[in-house]
Amino acid sequence: MMLYIRMRFLAIGLLALAASGTAAAADCGENPGPGVDWQRCSKQMLQLQGSDLSDANLQGAYLTGTGLSNSNLSGADMSGSELVRTSLDGTNLSGANLEKALAHRATFESASLREARLEKAEFVRVNLDEADLSNANMVKGEFIRNSFRDANLSGADLSGANLSRAVFHGANLAGASFQGAHLHWARFENTDLSSAGGLTQDQVDAACGDATTKLPDGLAAPATWPCAPD
């Protein structure tokens, strides 16, 4: 899995070298602002904290190592973008499109992703602690080893998502859908799953919890949870 990720990053890095040529319609030299068109532009290692990039076209943009904390990216199109070690703490991404975005060790702590689109996104070891992901579309996304501590995922659609080893301690999962989600060693200690939808006993048995974990009616904690305590 990690070899695959490294190969993906290498391929994306090579593509970034040609970004200015492939983004003929975009103005990669344009200053940051609402609605800016940076489609497929290389904007790596920049300090853009506090920027207003609402409704920006960042489709396929290369944002590795870029600081975007406390910025406004509401309604932005970030589909297919590269977000490796990108900082988006406290950023407004409400309604943003991150479909098929690729993130590794990025941080979205306390960010707002309300009603954001993350279908088929590939997020590995991403920090989403205390983020607002209410009503987000996360269908078939890869969220391996992500941290969702105290995050708001109420009403989020996680159907078919890979949540292996993700941490949900204290997260709000009211009305969230886990239909067909992969929960191998996902951590639900101190988490209320009682009103989450789509869960099966097989999923619960593959996940991890403790005496504080609350399950939906009809499901039971395994005799022994598979994970060791943190």
Q: What is the mean pLDDT of residues 167-194?
A: 98
Confidence at 21, pLDDT banded by 50, 70, 90: very low
Q: What is the mean pLDDT of residues 130-138?
A: 98
Q: Could you read off the pLDDT of 184-200 as tens digits, one per residue?
A: 999 999 999 999 999 99
Confidence at 227, pLDDT banded by 50, 70, 90: confident
Q: Do domains 1-16+33-127 and 136-230 have the same CATH topology?
A: yes
Token duo for residue 124: 């590995």
pLDDT at 228: 73
Residue 50's CB is within 10 A of a number of other CB atoms, namely: 14
Confidence at 18, pLDDT banded by 50, 70, 90: very low
Query: Under DSSP, is residue 156 helix (H, G, I), strand (E, B) or coil?
Result: coil
Q: Could you read off the pLDDT of 100-132 as tens digits, one per residue?
A: 999 999 999 999 999 999 999 999 999 999 999
Does the structure show a pLDDT above 60 at 12? no
Tell me which residue of 228, 141, 218, 156 sits closest to 187, measured CA to CA: 228
Confidence at 22, pLDDT banded by 50, 70, 90: very low
Q: What is the mean pLDDT of residues 11-38?
A: 70
Q: What is the mean pLDDT of residues 203-216?
A: 97
Q: What is the mean pLDDT of residues 41-45?
A: 98
Residue 228's CB is within 10 A of a number of other CB atoms, namely: 6
The Cα 4–Cα 133 span in angstroms is 27
Q: Are 52 and 70 in contact (CB under 8 A)?
A: no
Confidence at 94, pLDDT banded by 50, 70, 90: very high
How does 13-49 read in b/e, with b if 16+ C-beta sit within 10 Å? eeebeebeeebeebebeeebeeebbbbbbbbbeeeeb
Confidence at 7, pLDDT banded by 50, 70, 90: low
Looking at per-residue confidence, does 10 or 54 come out higher?
Answer: 54
Name the superfamily (CATH) of residues 1-16+33-127. E3 ubiquitin-protein ligase SopA (2.160.20.80)
Tell me which residue of 205, 152, 151, 160 sits closest to 179, measured CA to CA: 160
Which one-letter amino acid corresponds to residue 19? Answer: A
pLDDT at 112: 98
Reported as type and span, the H/E element at residue 13 is helix 2-17
Reported as type and span, the H/E element at residue 143 is strand 142-144
pLDDT at 20: 44
CA atoms within 13 A on the CB side of 53: 28
Q: How deeply is 1 buried, as exposed, middle or buried, from its count of CB atoms within 10 A (0-12, 13-18, 19+)? A: exposed
The Cα 128–Cα 156 span in angstroms is 14
- Per domain, the residue ranges of the chain are 1-16+33-127, 136-230
Name the superfamily (CATH) of residues 136-230. E3 ubiquitin-protein ligase SopA (2.160.20.80)
Token duo for residue 1: 């899995």
List, in order, residues 6 or more apart from 78 with CB less than 8 Å away.
58, 59, 61, 93, 96, 97, 98, 101
Does the structure show a pLDDT above 50 at 43? yes
